[in-house]
């Protein structure tokens, strides 16, 4: 008698054709069900284990009493002179370049002196004419005095001669002053440095016509250097003249100097809405003009920003912002409502709902459920309002 085998997984159940022919129509179905029961009994029991997802946690630390402020700026000379000609003219020479050192008396640039030389000649001629006029009126006055002494001239004639002489003397003095002024203008055609320093910029060149006072060359005076930083209005109250700060430099990590706030702008910039703060630096030959500096200062911590959590720790449940906290004793997670103060580049500042010592799930919040069992494998890294990176301030738990 041939036998038919039914395959169920790895189990074969034999069925003879005679049995199949003797059962009614419903018989094969019952046989199949029975076979399935036998196959199920032969399979091994599968042990189901709970899957614990790895998460990251941070421990809320007590907020620091102070916070660190850091602003970048550039090194500049305390005194910078924008030098320009005292007269109008066309630049004919530029004798210095950017970065060149200068000392008092060095000629930086020249303008065309031709017109001013002609003014000197004109003033000299005017003075010569005034001198001759003084001589002429002097002779007339002396003659009037002689005639008046001999009663050949009236007193009014003497007074008139004396008045003409005095007027000629005044005209001569004016001509002398005009000559001196013309000579000075010739000297002003040379733009000279009056203090030791270094040329930091040139704003006019040969061939350009400039007016009096137009900046042509900028010279940074040797001496004290400072860092100019821009501070937003929320932190400007922390900077007062005389405040001690630390200055570090991007080009030299080993160089750190003690600086002091020298000047704070009285009003904000119209465009950036920041306040200019100048920090004086001690004299150090390694500090060069134009270097990028970082100014660090301590400030009182704002009580409204007591704790901070990574952005990845924030979750929502039923339209409410929550975090998942870990119960150390029961090793379970629980949802806790919080009140967010603000979002920052460092994470989320929490105003209410968290206390120092709370352990918060920092990642994987979408997989959390109430009373989910977890196992801490290490101490959670503390996270406070001064934390910068949620990735570094977290440890895995299972």
- CA distance linking residue 39 with residue 41, whole number of Å: 5
Give the model's pLDDT for residue 184: 94
Please report, for the chain, the start and end positions of each structural domain, with discontinuous segments joined by +: 71-77+223-300, 83-111+190-220, 113-188, 304-383
For domain 71-77+223-300, say whether CATH 3.20.20.70 is its number.
Answer: no
Quick: pLDDT tens for 229-248: 999 988 898 899 999 999 99
* Structural Rg of the chain based on CA atoms: 47
- H or E segment and range at residue 178: helix 155-187
Give the model's pLDDT for residue 235: 86
C-alpha neighbours within 13 Å on the C-beta side of residue 82:
6
Residue position matching structure tokens 């704003």: 203
Answer yes or no: are the C-beta atoms of 220 and 291 closer than 8 Å.
Answer: no
Predicted model pTM: 0.54
Average pLDDT, whole number, for the chain? 81
How many CB atoms sit inside 10 A of residue 309's CB? Answer: 28
Give the model's pLDDT for residue 356: 80
Give the model's pLDDT for residue 65: 60
| Nearest by Cα to 260 from 295, 291, 223 | 295
Of the pLDDT bands very low, low, confident and very high (cuts 50, 70, 90), residue 387 is very low
Residues in Cβ contact with 54 at an 8 Å cutoff, skipping those fewer than 6 apart: 364, 396, 397, 398
185-208: average pLDDT: 94
Query: The domain at 304-383 falls in which architecture?
Result: Beta Barrel (2.40)
Q: What is the CATH number of domain 83-111+190-220?
A: 2.40.50.100
Quick: pLDDT tens for 20-61: 554 444 444 444 444 444 444 444 444 545 556 666 788 887
pLDDT reading at 329 higher than 60: yes
Task: Collapse the DSSP code of 375 into the 3-class scheme (helix H, G, I; strand E, B; otherwise coil) and give the result.
Answer: coil
Give the model's pLDDT for residue 326: 87
Quick: pLDDT tens for 280-295: 999 888 998 889 999 9
Work out the angle between the directed axes of helices 114-149 and 155-187 (0-180°, nearest 10). 160
Same CATH topology for 71-77+223-300 and 113-188?
A: no
Task: Classify domain 113-188 at the CATH class level.
Answer: mainly alpha
């Amino acid at each position: 008698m041939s036998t038919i085998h039914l395959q169920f997984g790895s189990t074969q159940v034999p069925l003879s054709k005679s049995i199949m022919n003797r059962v009614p129509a419903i018989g094969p179905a019952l046989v199949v069900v029975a076979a399935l029961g036998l196959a199920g009994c032969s399979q091994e029991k599968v042990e189901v284990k709970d899957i614990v997802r790895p998460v990251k946690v941070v421990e809320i630390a007590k907020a620091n009493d102070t916070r660190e402020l850091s602003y970048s700026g550039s090194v500049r000379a305390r005194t910078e002179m924008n030098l320009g000609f005292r007269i109008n003219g066309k630049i004919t020479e530029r004798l210095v370049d950017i970065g060149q050192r200068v000392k008092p008396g060095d000629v930086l640039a020249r303008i065309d002196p031709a017109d001013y030389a002609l003014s000197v000649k004109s003033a000299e001629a005017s003075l010569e004419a005034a001198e001759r006029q003084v001589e002429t009126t002097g002779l007339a006055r002396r003659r009037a005095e002689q005639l008046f002494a001999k009663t050949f001239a009236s007193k009014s004639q003497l007074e008139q001669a004396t008045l003409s002489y005095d007027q000629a003397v005044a005209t001569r003095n004016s001509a002398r002053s005009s000559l001196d002024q013309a000579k000075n203008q010739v000297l002003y055609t040379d733009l000279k440095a009056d203090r030791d320093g270094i040329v930091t910029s040139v704003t006019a060149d040969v061939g350009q016509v400039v007016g009096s006072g137009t900046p042509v060359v900028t010279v940074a005076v040797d001496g004290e250097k400072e860092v100019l930083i821009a501070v937003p209005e929320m932190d400007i109250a922390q900077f007062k003249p005389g405040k001690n700060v630390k200055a570090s430099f991007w080009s030299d990590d080993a160089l750190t100097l003690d600086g002091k706030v020298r000047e704070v702008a009285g009003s904000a910039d119209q465009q950036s809405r920041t306040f200019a703060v100048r920090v004086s630096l001690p004299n150090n030959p390694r500090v060069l003009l134009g270097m990028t500096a970082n100014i660090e200062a301590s400030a009182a911590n704002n009580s409204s920003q007591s704790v901070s959590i990574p952005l990845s720790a924030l979750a929502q449940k039923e339209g409410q912002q929550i975090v998942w906290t870990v119960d150390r004793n029961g090793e379970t997670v629980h949802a806790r409502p919080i009140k967010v103060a603000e979002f920052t580049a460092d994470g989320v500042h929490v105003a209410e709902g968290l206390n120092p010592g709370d352990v918060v799930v920092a990642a994987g919040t979408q997989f959390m459920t109430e009373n989910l069992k977890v196992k801490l494998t290490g101490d959670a890294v503390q996270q406070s309002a001064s934390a910068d990176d949620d990735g570094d301030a977290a440890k895995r738990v299972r």
